[in-house]
């Protein structure tokens, strides 16, 4: 399969409602879509990255620049015939987190194009040692007021979902009201995680201990910023309470897994495709977590389109041993999407494999064009040479 062009789209996806957490309040998401055009337009593959400056330090413009540089590498697979070429290319890239959203976008686009060219679903390119035919997603509560938390809680309960993630910030009163609202709706029939996105210092964290214990929180995600020197003290308090600390922003690479394993404070890690550099790098991290006996969940970034949701679904199905699954929120969060398929989960959070070659989704090109704020094309050296010969 000859790749002729790589197009990089900077898109803005509007939400159906504002979604807040301690690091951000947004009504839309700014992501990157990579479009692989091969065999003179007969094949089109799509991938996505979700650059978040507070996670990997990346921006839309930075990711677009990184992808442009990636295509200049000698081993970029312009002539793509085997998945091993993709792995060789991905493995040759930086091991730091600085380009993870860019790597994710390129990798998923290449896999989608290859799968479509070979009439194979992308999931067939990966080992199935931990495969699950069905997974069950949980629901995420925004950092909101008590009434909005209550209203959303009743919608979630109506869908028979009781695996919950509640966003918390620095305001103790607001946090208390929201966790009380969850209890009022669900009683004790819930499996509750709290996600702080690093907003607490030690004093604020200690103040929340009674709430965490009273409302039977199972997992506390990223209570403090990465490398906070007070984390060790608070981790001891949580361990004595039987609460699992989960790392998110603190773990973006395989090297980060090594570091938190040595420190011993975190007992679980949130693996997110764009944060961790795509499917291959995420699976490397997961394999290492398994070997070290550290739990993990498969998560997502707020505002993923159906393209990244489809890739996330694939990773979830490959990891039947994950403790939790977050993602596939398309229908529930996005006001507009770029895929024709609805990649959302069903009642109870239930979701299975997507059908069809590649990632299993078809991009609505009209929506992609309308939601793209900027697009750039990179032409392959072979196509440039051919065009030059034709002109002469």
Question: 19 with 282: CB under 8 angstroms?
Answer: no
Q: How many CB atoms lie within 10 A of CB 28?
A: 17
Extents of the domains making up the chain: 3-120+362-383, 125-351
Among the listed residues 361, 237, 359, 218, the one whose alpha carbon sits nearest the alpha carbon of residue 297: 218
Question: Which H, E and C letters describe 75-136, residue by residue?
Answer: CCCCECCCHHHHHHHHHCCCCCHHHHHHHHHHHHHHHHHHHHHCCCEHHHHCCCCCCCCCEE
pLDDT at 137: 98
Distance CA 115, CA 83 (A): 9
Cα 130 from Cα 340, distance rounded (Å): 29
Q: What per-residue confidence (pLDDT) applies to 17?
A: 87
**pLDDT computed for residue 321 by the predictor:** 98
pLDDT value, residue 19? 80
């299975």: which residue's tokens? 352
pLDDT reported for residue 20: 63
Q: Are strands 350-351 and 135-136 parallel, antiparallel or unpaired?
A: antiparallel
CATH of domain 125-351: 3.20.20.120
- One digit per residue, pLDDT tens: the chain, 392 residues? 999 999 999 999 999 988 866 566 779 999 999 999 999 999 999 999 999 999 999 999 999 999 999 999 999 999 999 999 999 999 999 889 999 999 999 999 999 999 999 999 999 999 999 999 999 999 999 999 999 999 999 999 999 999 999 999 999 999 999 999 999 999 999 999 999 999 999 999 999 999 999 999 999 999 999 999 999 999 999 999 999 999 999 999 999 999 999 999 999 999 999 999 999 999 999 999 999 999 999 999 999 999 999 999 999 999 999 999 999 999 999 999 999 999 999 999 999 999 999 999 999 999 999 999 999 999 999 998 887 766 76
What is the pLDDT at residue 26? 78
Q: Find out whether 347 and 28 touch, Cβ atoms under 8 Å.
A: no
The token pair that represents 218 in the structure block: 């199972």
H-run or E-run covering 60:
helix 60-70
Nearest-5° angle of CA 90, CA 92, CA 98?
75
d(CA 19, CA 141): 9
Per CATH, the number for 3-120+362-383 is: 3.30.390.10
């Amino acid at each position: 399969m000859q790749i002729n062009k790589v197009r990089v789209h900077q898109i803005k996806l509007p939400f159906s409602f504002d979604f807040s957490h301690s690091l951000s309040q947004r009504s839309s998401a700014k992501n990157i879509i990579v479009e692989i055009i091969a065999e003179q337009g007969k094949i089109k593959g799509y991938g996505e990255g979700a650059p978040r400056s507070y996670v990997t330090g990346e921006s839309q413009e930075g990711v677009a620049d990184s992808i442009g540089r990636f295509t200049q590498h000698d081993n970029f697979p312009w002539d793509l015939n085997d998945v091993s070429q993709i792995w060789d290319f991905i493995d040759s890239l930086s091991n730091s987190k600085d380009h993870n959203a860019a790597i994710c976008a390129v990798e998923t686009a290449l896999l989608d194009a290859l799968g479509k060219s070979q009439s194979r679903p992308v999931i067939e390119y990966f080992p199935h040692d931990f495969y699950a035919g069905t997974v069950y997603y949980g629901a995420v509560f925004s950092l909101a007021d008590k009434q909005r938390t209550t209203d959303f809680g009743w919608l979630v309960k109506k869908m028979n979902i009781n695996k919950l993630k509640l966003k918390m910030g620095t305001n103790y009163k607001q946090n208390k009201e929201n966790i009380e609202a969850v209890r009022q709706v669900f009683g004790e029939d819930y499996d509750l995680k709290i996600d702080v996105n690093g907003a607490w210092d030690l004093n604020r964290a200690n103040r929340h201990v009674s709430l965490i214990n009273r409302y039977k929180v199972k997992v506390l995600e990223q209570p403090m910023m990465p490398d906070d020197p007070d984390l060790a003290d608070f981790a001891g308090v949580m361990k004595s309470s039987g609460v699992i600390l989960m790392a998110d922003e603190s773990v973006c690479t395989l090297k980060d897994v090594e570091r938190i394993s040595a420190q011993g404070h975190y007992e679980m890690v949130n693996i997110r495709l764009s944060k961790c550099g795509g499917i291959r790098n995420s699976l490397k991290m997961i394999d290492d977590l398994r070997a070290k006996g550290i739990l993990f969940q498969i998560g997502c970034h707020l505002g993923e389109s159906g393209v990244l949701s489809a890739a996330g679904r694939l990773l979830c199905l490959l990891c039947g041993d994950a403790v939790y699954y977050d993602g596939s929120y398309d229908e529930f969060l996005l006001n507009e999407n770029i895929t024709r398929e609805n990649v959302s989960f069903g009642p109870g959070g239930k979701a299975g494999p997507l059908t069809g070659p590649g990632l299993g989704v078809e991009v609505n090109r009209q929506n992609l064009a309308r939601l793209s704020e900027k697009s750039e094309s990179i032409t392959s050296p072979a196509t440039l040479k051919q065009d030059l010969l034709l002109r002469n």
